[in-house]
Amino acid sequence: MNVITIEDYKSTYWPKLDSAIDQLLTQSPGDYIPISYEQIYSCVYKCVCQQHSEQMYSDLIKKITNHLERVSKELQASPPDLYIERFNVALGQYMGALQSIVPLFIYMNKFYIETKLNRDLKDDLIKLFTEHVAEKHIYNLM
DSSP state, 113?
Answer: I
Q: Which pLDDT value is given to residue 99?
A: 93
What topology is assigned to 6-141 in CATH? 5 helical Cullin repeat like (1.20.1310)
pLDDT, one tens digit per residue, over 86-139 is 999 999 999 999 999 999 999 999 999 999 999 999 999 999 999 999 988 777
CB 101 within 8 A of CB 117: no
* CA-angle at 25, arms to 78 and 139, nearest 5°: 35
Q: List the chain domain ranges.
A: 6-141
**CA nearest neighbour of 75 among 22, 27, 141:** 141
Tens-place pLDDT, residues 15-35: 999 999 999 999 876 666 677
